[in-house]
Each structure stands twice: as structure tokens, then as C-alpha cells.
Amino acid sequence: MFRARKSIRKPFLLPINRASIQACQATFVQSHSHFIRQTPLWKLPGKALGVRCAEVWLKLEHLQTGGSFKARGMLNRLLSNPIPASGVVIASGGNAGIAAASAAQELGVRCEVFVPEVSSPAKRARLAALGAQVVVAGKAYADAFSACVARQQQTGALLAHAYDQSEVLIGAGTLALEIEARGGLPDSVLASVGGGGLIGGVAAWFERRSRVVALEPELAPTLFNARLAGQAVDVTVGGIAADSLGAKRIGGLAWDITQAHACDALLLHDDAIAAAQLWLWRELKLAVEPAAALPLAALQTGAYKPKAGENVCMIICGANIDPATLA
């Protein structure tokens, strides 16, 4: 049965910093440790991945509830606000929707997810299995988001944003806290970027104590083009990772944080991303989506060149694919 739920915190714009990330992690550990998993940190010598560095650390966040890091931010969003009887509504290429639907199921509230036409059948099926109402709206994420906002205005549901709400970035930041707690400070952290929820939370935690590197497909360069322009700008998105990295503009919160704390924004070709995704499956038996393969692609292509003694952390961010596509 679905039920309205009162917030355990007052709804206000939370600062996105180490203190708020620590507080969020404490809530997860105290009350939702069965839902938010402290995912493994797998350390391998660089040579095991063909990389000239000391170690490569893989933060296996594809093992998170819902198959991606986004469960952290979505649960934090729902816990931080009153949820009306109409429930939660979100627009998503798939992973944020799955995370929101999982969090809604955890809390016993309704969830409606607007997805673009580029969203994968596997992700839509997962949403339906979680009990979410799925609405296909438009060709791209921006179209689905417009339809989602219109629906929210009709129903009064709590709007969850895939990447541009403070609670979402704070939740994502808890995985960076776990990296440091388990492994210490890596020299560099490689993270994929769509709208910026992951890179924003990670950069807010590390605060340049580690070199945070943003990675994007050439066909979805939201942060890269924003840096060229000196401000967030719209881009045309497409390509192999468009279903999960298909935001047409970097989120405002992530833009501010990455300006302060992210060192590089690098682009990768779809062929390199596909090759890295297949390598992760064949060599390490990690069945992950294209977005999760960007960090390895950056190392394999030399887009990011670590120093000989460097410890590099790759965030393996999601696994919501049909395994049959990995040949």
C-alpha cells in the first residue's frame, strides 16, 4: 500500500559540502543500510589494466541498489522532503528513474517516471518491475523533463531531479566518502558526466585533495562545452551513452562545484567507450553500461595519462543494461 510520508528533515536548500555529505552518510548507515550499500573498492595493480600507474581502484557502484550510484541521491531527496499522496515524479533516461522508483518502493510511496525515446528497453522494464508508472515523452531527456514538470504541476507530486538538486549531489558524494574511508585519498578520480550529479558530489567531497577528472562522450559534451563558453550552455546529445549521459546542459549546481574543484574535462569517442565496456566484461567480468566504461576508456586511449606512481580511482557508475548486448 502507498502512503504519504512526512519528512524527517525540514525542506531547505542544503549546502553541498563535506559536512552535509557526512550527515547524509550517517543517515544511510543508521536507518537505511539495507538499501544503500557500501559498495566494494577493488584495488588492482595498474599493469592488470595495461596502465602505467601504481594502482587502479575500481569503485564498484554498479552493485548499488537499482544498479547505479543514483540510489544515494534519490533516497536522500525523498528523505529530505514531505512526500504528498501523489508521490514522486521524475524525468530520467533510466538510471535516476530506477533509483527514484527503488527509493519510493523502500518508503512505500508512489512514483511516476517520464523517460525519453532513447531510454533502453531494459531500463523501462526495470522501472515497471519496481511498480513505477512509466511515461515515454519526447526524443530526448529535455522533452521528458518538460512533460514531467507539467505533470508535477497537475498533481503536486514531489519533483525529483535526475542531477540538479542539492540532496541528489549530497547523496552521490557519499560514495566518494566511502572511497576515502576504505582506501585513503587516491591521487586522481575519474568520473563520467551527464548532467553532473555524480561529478558534483564527488568533487564536493574531495575538494581538490584528489585530482577529479570529468569524462564525457564526444557526442554529449555538456561540461566540456560549458568550459569553452565560460558558462552552462545547451548541447546536442547522442551516441552510445545518451540514455544515461544525455542531459543537454550541465546542471547549475554541478557547474559551480566543478568550476571550483574539478581539474579536467575530457572527451572520449564512442568507439573507445564501447571497447572499454567490452574489456571490462571480457577481462574482469563486470557487466556495466557504456557510461560506466568512460574511466577505463580515458586510461586505455591516453586521454588521461597518470603518473608512474599514481593511484587512480575509476567510478564504475552503473549496470542497467541487457547482458546479452555484451558479446
Handedness of CA 292, 296, 301, 303 (dihedral sign): positive
> Which of the following CATH numbers is that of domain 70-160: 3.40.50.150, 1.20.120.80, 2.60.40.1530, 3.40.50.1100?
3.40.50.1100
6 pLDDT tier (thresholds 50, 70, 90)? very low
Model confidence band, residue 13 (pLDDT cutoffs 50, 70, 90): low
- State the chain's mean pLDDT as an integer: 92
Whole-number Cα distances in Å, 102 to 42, 68, 124, 258: 26, 11, 13, 28
Domain boundaries, the chain: 31-69+166-325, 70-160
pLDDT-derived band at 100 (thresholds 50, 70, 90) equals very high
Q: At what angle do helices 166-183 and 252-261 cross, to 10 degrees?
A: 40
125 grid coordinates: 522494464
Per the model's pLDDT, the better-predicted residue between 110 and 92 turns out to be 110
| pLDDT tops 80 at residue 43 | yes
Q: Is the pLDDT of residue 2 over 90?
A: no
pLDDT tens-digit readout, 278-302: 999 999 999 999 999 999 999 999 9
- What is the structure's pLDDT at 272? 97
Q: Which of 321, 322, 276, 307 is nearest to 58 (CA)?
A: 276
**0.95 exceeded by the pTM?**
no
Top-confidence residue, 121 or 232 = 232
Query: Sorting pLDDT into bands at 50, 70 and 90, what band is 88?
Result: very high
**Which tens digits make up the pLDDT trace of 166-223?**
999 999 999 999 999 999 999 999 999 999 999 999 999 999 999 999 999 999 999 9
55 vs 45: CA distance, rounded Å: 4
Residue 67: exposure state from Cβ atoms within 10 A (0-12, 13-18, ≥19) = buried
**CATH T-level assignment (fold) for domain 31-69+166-325:** Rossmann fold (3.40.50)
CA–CA gap between residue 246 and residue 142 (Å, rounded): 9
Rounded to an integer, what distance in angstroms lies between the CA atom of residue 322 and that of residue 247? 22
Q: What is the pLDDT of residues 233-256, one digit of tens each?
A: 999 888 888 777 778 899 999 999
DSSP code per residue over 185-205: --SEEEEE-SSSHHHHHHHHH
pLDDT at 7: 34
Task: Report the pLDDT value the prediction gives residue 11, as an integer from 0 to 100.
Answer: 41
Fold identical between 31-69+166-325 and 70-160?
A: yes
User: Percent of the chain at pLDDT above 90?
Assistant: 82
